[in-house]
Chain A
């Protein structure tokens, strides 16, 4: 066994630095799921009658649904009655100033700015508006007033239901219907909080919007729901980050994200997912079973997904684009890392409906240790999608001989005018590459990092700047000790 294999192995065994627990007084529902749970959550959030009905309908429908088993992942059966469906810090703050300092400290520790810092003279600090979600509730949203001046609504989902029910009612469940799949069905019944974004006609959002999800309480699941609407000609870039404490149990995170882009609108959605991946023996960690879908409803609209997936014991997510408007564009850029005993089954769906629709898929999977990595994608061209174009590329890198990398890129073409291309490769860091770097005086670990970063470059350059740096660092940390 060469020296390089050793470093690679060491690199993958690095600890998880966000694994602390915030000691804060919380109230939570006892574990269990029935109609009363749904009613409780709805009542707690002071929701209107129609939403409760919507939830109950979703719940009754969910009871009939079978658990999907097609994903290339293995996990013990989930006991849906052993999960608590609602947990929140006891003191609900009215405004940012009243937020429990412990919570602010938590976010500070995670590196999330919760203060609306003034711009310092000479130092151009970019502003990012943050919505912080702690277990089942949003604890604060920054820069709300500044955004409101432009007519932008950026708030928690619960607040949106109270303040802008007409918008929520119009769009909720239109992209991901409540019976879409097993976990989306569960989410529709018990969703707690998430972000709501509305960009009015012709407005270009002046700053990045960001939501930070934190799971803190034990034995809970997080079921957030995010809805982003970009009106005609609007533009928004949205970031999402997530972490959770280290626990021996598996916690379920079943989110739904819906995006709607009308004529000429553009939504850029970036995720850096760093849920707790479990320990080196594969014990504990988050089950990240997420449904994300964007609807390019309008002509010339564009939705772009960028994701960096390094956390979670199991990831099961397929951010998708339904390209309904003529000339609309869908993009998917992904870097997924699975190390330790992590399993990731992730990819995208591009559904071409409108004329001249285009989509691009770039997926990079890195598998190390005992990690299992699957790219699963679907490009479907419907008979109405004249002149549709798709280009997909998915590359896998294997580090070590105990891991797996799998690719399932399905293509269904129903229009002769479609041009669909797909390429995939699987490789490892070759001895030659390492030797070349070392010969130039670059240390082994640094060389691996260099090669891995080069491998992911196509995706990282699509991330907003701050995130790109964070993602690169995260990747280094993730793979640290796994190369040798």
Chain B
């Protein structure tokens, strides 16, 4: 506790040492966010939303803000190959790298700039939306991010703009970012009737501790659609504490597929507010967790008005001494009639030392709604295994096939099918690390 207190003041001291931007609204916003973080501190297990998370060792360490990073060309090549024809922005250690980015042939109605640039220019969209949605009062790392964020991506779609090419955002922590913290941001404003497909990709240097608190704010106006492919492949020493916050207007659509296989501690909170009548949200995901890893998805789906629909489907595969959390909220406000909301969570435990927490939460204040959820935790089906073995497959191969099938199902809903090969390859690699061996 003492250490955490001390730590708070380290972040505060750093905050105070940073130069003001000169933009009054931005400086005020940051100061408020910093105060929010100071008030909350590092969350501990007695806070309901953090009760399964052990952040004691994060609170003991200190990660100063990272400077613009080192060379990452080697890493990047592989990734760009998987989505070759894309509009691309690359951030290294939280800072925009124009050299790695590709913003040629921007279609009409689409604006993509770095937030640092937008702040500099006194941009109105940032003023209206930046830091206005992610709840710094509730989420300590959203607060930390808003206080420290200096850069990120601003993507703006004029009404009616339909962008065919995927928009890819790489957030990379380089060797120079080891032991440091980055606070990359994404702000998307999709105007009425516009459509876009996004890939938000987080990766980083292996075997080094670092902290990253990415916060994405996505505002989808009436009848617009945004699809987001979220990939959390942070380095295996990373603390990844992110937020995706979505506001949906009337008949607006948001589809997300999340995949996580990285970070020693990875948590993403997905907030979706269905503010307009007839809004739709779909959240899907897969987490693969091995020994020493902790993966956590918290979803907060809030139906604020009538005729909204939402679905959530998350699957987890756990091996070794791994731990995972799925904590999903469906909140149906008073008067949000004709809401249709479903949630599923399935966990596959491959090892006796793995722990899966599944915490579905339904809060319903309207009577004419259809809401349901289900969750399961279990091991591989012995009958299915027997069946495959009776067909001549070895135990190892049979287990591998069943695990692959279990995980692969969620990949059908990937919002960036171009990346399916990439994710499948990761899955196959993961399985090759003798997880199919039936260690017991």
A and B bind: yes
- Let me know if A413 and B347 touch, CB within 8 A: yes
Given known contacts A70-B48, A401-B334, A424 and B362 CB-to-CB distance under 8 angstroms = yes
The answer for the CA separation of A402 and B349 in the assembled complex, in Å, is 41
**A426 and B362 contacting across the interface, CB-CB below 8 Å:** yes
Known: A401-B337, A420-B376, A422-B375. A396 touches B364 (CB 8 A): yes
B362 touches A406 (CB 8 A): yes
Tell me if A410 is interfacial: C-beta within 8 Å of chain B. yes
Residues of B within 8 A of A418 (CB): 349, 377-379
Contact (Cβ within 8 A) B368 A410: no
Q: What is the 8 Å Cβ interface bit string for chain B, positions 363-377, against chain A (1 contact, 0 not)? A: 111111111111111
Cβ-neighbour of B367 out of A72, A399, A416, A424 (below 8 A): A399
A361-416 interface with B by 8 A CB criterion: 381, 383, 396, 398-416
| Segment at the interface with A among B140-148, B278-286, B351-359 | B351-359
State the CA gap A297–B256 with chains docked (Å). 47
Report whether A417 and B373 are in contact in the complex, using a CB–CB cutoff of 8 Å: no
Which residue of the partner chain, among B353, B369, B379, contacts A417 with CB atoms under 8 Å?
B379
CB atoms of A410 and B358 under 8 A apart: yes
The answer to the question of A46 belonging to the interface, with a C-beta cut-off of 8 Å to chain B, is: no
- Cβ of A150 within 8 Å of any chain B Cβ, yes or no, is no
A350 to chain B, nearest CB (A): 13
Contact assessment for B349 and A413 in the assembled complex, using a CB-CB cutoff below 8 Å? yes
A396 and B373 alpha carbons, distance in the complex (Å): 12
How many residue pairs between the two chains, A and B, have CB atoms under 8 Å in the bound complex? 117
Q: Could you list some 5 contacts between A and B, CB below 8 A?
A: A383-B353, A417-B379, A419-B377, A424-B374, A428-B367
The answer to whether A423 has its CB under 8 Å from any CB of chain B is: yes
Chain A residue contacts of B361, Cβ below 8 A: 406-408
CB of A125 closer than 8 Å to a CB of B: no
Whether A81 sits at the interface, judged by CB under 8 Å, is no
B367 proximity list for chain A (CB < 8 A): 398-401, 403, 428
Chain B residues with CB below 8 A from A415, complex form: 349, 352
Q: Are B370 and A427 in contact (CB under 8 A)?
A: yes
- CB < 8 Å neighbour of B364 from A410, A421, A423, A426: A426
Shortest CB distance A239–B (Å): 31
Is residue B335 contacting chain A, with contact meaning CB distance below 8 A? yes
Residues of B within 8 A of A402 (CB): 334
Cβ of A425 within 8 Å of any chain B Cβ, yes or no, is yes
Q: Which of B355, B359, B369, B372 contacts A408 (CB 8 A)?
A: B359
A398–B347 CA distance with the chains assembled, in angstroms = 30
Docked CA distance A421–B374 (Å): 7
Check if B159 is an interface residue, CB within 8 A of chain A: no
- B360 on interface, CB distance cutoff 8 Å: yes
B167 CB, nearest partner CB in chain A, Å: 37
Cα-based distance from A70 to B353 in the complex (angstroms): 29
- Least CB separation from A397: chain B residue: B367
The digit string for A165-204, where 1 denotes a CB below 8 A from any CB of B, is: 0000000000000000000000000000000000000000
In the complex the two chains form, is A424's CB within 8 Å of B373's CB?
Answer: yes
**CB nearest neighbor in B for A72:** B363
Known: A415-B349, A419-B377. 11 other contacts (CB 8 A): A398-B366, A404-B364, A406-B362, A408-B361, A412-B355, A412-B356, A413-B356, A418-B378, A422-B376, A426-B370, A426-B372
Indicate if the CB atoms of A428 and B368 lie closer than 8 Å. Answer: yes
B350 at the interface (CB under 8 A from A): yes
Alpha-carbon distance between A401 and B364 when the two chains are bound, in angstroms: 10
Q: Report if A411-B377 is in contact (Cβ < 8 Å); known contacts: A383-B352, A401-B335, A423-B372.
A: yes
User: Nearest CB to that of B331 among chain A residues?
Assistant: A406
Closest to A400 in B: B367
Q: How many A residues face the partner with a CB closer than 8 A?
A: 36
* Proximity string of chain B (20-48) to chain A, C-beta cutoff 8 Å, 1 when within and 0 when not: 00000000000000000000000000001
Across the A-B interface, the 3 shortest Cβ-Cβ residue pairs: A416-B349, A398-B367, A407-B362
Set of chain A residues within 8 Å of B365, measured between Cβ atoms: 403-404
Q: How far is the CA of A168 from the CA of B315 in the complex (A)?
A: 48
Contact in complex: B352, A424 (CB < 8 Å) = no
Contacts of A422 in B (CB 8 A): 358, 360, 373-376
For the complex, what is the distance from the CA of A152 to the CA of B1, rounded to whole Å?
53
Contact in complex: A424, B357 (CB < 8 Å): no
Contact A426–B371 (Cβ < 8 Å):
yes
Report Cα–Cα, A383/B372, bound state, in Å: 29
- Please indicate the chain B residues that have their CB under 8 angstroms from the CB of A421 in the complex: 374-376
Closest CB-CB distance, A157 to chain B, in whole Å?
34
User: Would you call A416 and B368 a contact (CB within 8 A)?
Assistant: no
In the complex, how many angstroms separate the beta carbon of B126 from the nearest chain A beta carbon?
Answer: 37
- Residues of B within 8 Å of A405, CB to CB, are 362, 364
For the complex, what is the distance from the CA of A399 to the CA of B350, rounded to whole Å? Answer: 43
User: Which B residues are in CB contact (< 8 Å) with A404?
Assistant: 363-365
Give, as a whole number of angstroms, the nearest-CB distance from A336 to chain B: 15
Residues of B within 8 A of A398 (CB): 364, 366-367, 369
Considering the chains assembled together, what is the distance between the CA atoms of A406 and B362 in angstroms?
5
A contact residues around B48 at 8 Å (CB):
70
- The smallest C-beta distance from A280 to any residue of chain B, in angstroms, reads 19
Q: Return the chain A residue nearest B374 by Cβ.
A: A423
Which A residues lie within 8 Å of B337 (CB)? 401
A416-B364 in contact given A422-B374, A423-B372 (Cβ < 8 Å): no
A390 to chain B, nearest CB (A): 9
Tell me if A407 and B352 are in contact (CB < 8 A): no
Residues on A with beta carbons closer than 8 Å to the beta carbon of B335: 401
Chain A neighbourhood of B379, CB < 8 A = 416-419
Contacts of A420 in B (CB 8 A): 358, 375-378
Q: Whose C-beta in chain A lies nearest to the C-beta of B369?
A: A426
Cβ B358 vs Cβ A416 within 8 A: no
List B contacts of A403 (CB < 8 A).
Answer: 365, 367
C-alpha spacing A344/B355, complex, angstroms: 30
Tell me which of B349, B359, B363 contacts A410 (CB under 8 A).
Answer: B359
Output the least CB separation between A478 and chain B (Å).
18
A411 touches B364 (CB 8 A): no
Query: What residues on B are CB-neighbors of A412 within 8 Å?
Result: 355-357
Q: In the complex, what residues of B have CB within 8 A of residue A411's CB? A: 356-359, 375, 377
User: Please, how many angstroms separate the alpha-carbon atoms of A410 and B325 in the complex?
Assistant: 10
Which residues of chain A are near B368, meaning CB under 8 Å?
401, 428
B46 to chain A, nearest CB (A): 10
**In the complex, A398→B363 CA distance in Å?**
12
Interchain nearest-CB distance for B367 vs A (Å): 4
Closest chain-B Cβ to A355's Cβ sits at a distance in Å of 13
CB distance from A398 to the nearest CB of B (A): 4
Rounded to whole Å, the gap between the CB of A402 and the closest CB of chain B is: 8
The residue on B at minimum CB distance from A431 is: B368
Most buried by A among B334, B335, B353, B375: B375
Closest B residue to A408 by beta carbon equals B361
A483 to B374, CA, bound (A): 30
Interface centre among A381, A409, A411 (most CB of B within 10 A): A411
* A351 CB to nearest B CB, Å: 14
CB-contacts of B113-165 with A (<8 A) = none
Complexed CA–CA distance, A400 and B48 (Å): 30
Beyond A398-B367, A416-B349, A420-B378, is A410–B357 a contact (Cβ under 8 Å)? Answer: yes
A413 to B367, CA, bound (A): 33
Compute how far the CA of A420 lies from the CA of B346 in the bound complex, rounded to whole angstroms: 10
